[in-house]
Amino acid sequence: MREHGLDKDSVLQNIEDHLAKDAAWNKVLNSICTEPLAIGKEAFIRSIDTNLGDVRIFRGSSELEHKAVRLLASLLGGGDSPGNIVSGGTEANVLALLAAKKRRPDIASPEIIIPETAHFSLFKAIHLMGLQYRIAKVDSRFKADPASIEALINDNTVAILATAGTSELGSVDPIEAIAQVALRHRVYLHVDAATGGFIIPFARKLGMDLPAFDFTLEGVCSITVDPHKYGLAPIPAGGILFRDRHIQQLVSVDSYFMGIPGHMTMLGTRNGAGAAAAYAVMEHLGLSGYMEITERNFELTRYLVRQLKDRGLRLPLEPELNIVLFEMDGAAQFLRYCEERGWIVSVSKRFPDAVRIVIQRHVTHGMINQFLSLLDRFVEDRKSAGAAAKGVPSS
């Protein structure tokens, strides 16, 4: 550390220099997160010096968190389902599995069942809580197989996890069938809708063929939903919702101070800005705002799929949400080719020969066209490099 501090302008200039190296949103095609809505940023800054760890001081901020939770619950078929705005989907998933584990203190060696496609955040929860886990099979469309889940249930099973929209592939598990399995065996079911929670409800209202995944299904005990992804709120804003107060109480830890209700989040001291901003964005957009954005995202997704298929490229799976994978030789090479030109795409380890593109609010028609030109140029360059290697003159 410096003996005497650096002046403000120099410090801020340093920050600007570093921020300038971050990719510009207009070349980002791999991100489930996006630039937040302006009103979210404003609300965030207004609330930046709040602390939801002390609701006696920050009573109004706590009310904003409560309002944000009410909006999430109304979106997810949970009239009065309680919950919290947390740091993200990871924390929400940890809290859900904590509730499931504490619900069964009689089980000495608790196990959970997760599909092959479950998000890696679950492994953080598994390691933290010393859980055992069993991996359920997925079908050809990468959806969890309810029969495989049922076959793995045993006396030590404390929870089943299902995903409503994986961030890797956008596949949606058959939650209704899985909820029936959970009910039949009286096992806790957690639905990870971190990605799909802000897509599927609006897509269904638009008449798209996507399944129910929320509290309207008896058997669903908790849901993760991330306002900081397709909810268009600034990071950090994740959501954990529980079906009822009894389940939520399982994660409550008493403070040693009078007048402070039990903490129900992993974090103690925690900023209220994310909650205020999530509230602001949801209140401002309303159902019609999200539906408009969702409709546009799906239009753009269909456009990209058409363009890829017109080029003879194969998709390993038909996109259910706004994530598109297409196969190509040298996908990893193409990823670097893009990066050298400022474009960010991704390649999933499950499909090392496929490029993964995410359509989010910042992605435009123009961006997709620029990306397709880049793809065409890469294919051309490689063709002529291959021809040159064989001694064929390139035109």
By the rule CB under 6 A, 117 interacts with ligand PLP = no
Give dist(CA 392, CA 395) in Å, integer.
Answer: 9
By the rule CB under 6 A, 119 interacts with ligand PLP = yes
What six digits make up the tokens of 9? 């302008």
By the rule CB under 6 A, 167 interacts with ligand PLP = yes
CB of 214 to ligand PLP, least distance (A): 15
Give dist(CA 63, CA 52) in Å, integer.
Answer: 10
Tell me which stretch binds ligand PLP (CB under 6 A): 7-15, 188-196, 326-334, 356-364.
188-196
Give dist(CA 13, CA 131) in Å, integer.
Answer: 47
By the rule CB under 6 A, 297 interacts with ligand PLP = no
Tell me which stretch binds ligand PLP (CB under 6 A): 64-72, 83-91, 109-117, 241-249.
83-91
Phi–psi pair at 380, nearest 5 degrees: -60, -50
CB of 154 to ligand PLP, least distance (A): 25
Quick count: other Cβ atoms within 10 Å of Cβ 120?
Answer: 9
Q: Pattern of binders to ligand PLP over 41-70, x per CB under 6 A?
A: ------------------------------
User: Under 8 Å CB-to-CB from 362, ≥6 apart: which residues?
Assistant: 25, 26, 28, 34, 35
Name the β-bridge partners of 192.
Answer: 163, 224
Give dist(CA 218, CA 157) in Å, integer.
Answer: 19
Q: Which residue is nearest to ligand PLP (CB)?
A: 89
What six digits make up the tokens of 226? 């991330």
Which residue of 61, 195, 248, 271 would you call a contact of ligand PLP, by CB under 6 A? Answer: 195
User: Under 8 Å CB-to-CB from 382, ≥6 apart: which residues?
Assistant: 330
By the rule CB under 6 A, 191 interacts with ligand PLP = no
| Residue closest to 132 by CA, chosen among 114, 117, 115 | 114
Count residues contacting ligand PLP (CB under 6 A)? Answer: 15
Which residue of 194, 300, 304, 357 would you call a contact of ligand PLP, by CB under 6 A? Answer: 194
Give dist(CA 229, CA 36) in Å, integer.
Answer: 9
Tell me which stretch binds ligand PLP (CB under 6 A): 34-42, 86-94, 213-221, 276-284.
86-94
Q: Of the two residues 84 and 375, which places its CB atom closer to ligand PLP in the complex?
A: 84
Residue owning tokens 């064989």: 390
CB of 144 to ligand PLP, least distance (A): 12
Give dist(CA 189, CA 112) in Å, integer.
Answer: 10
By the rule CB under 6 A, 166 interacts with ligand PLP = yes
Contacts with ligand PLP, residue ranges (CB under 6 A): 32, 88-90, 93, 119, 121, 163, 166-167, 192, 194-195, 226, 238
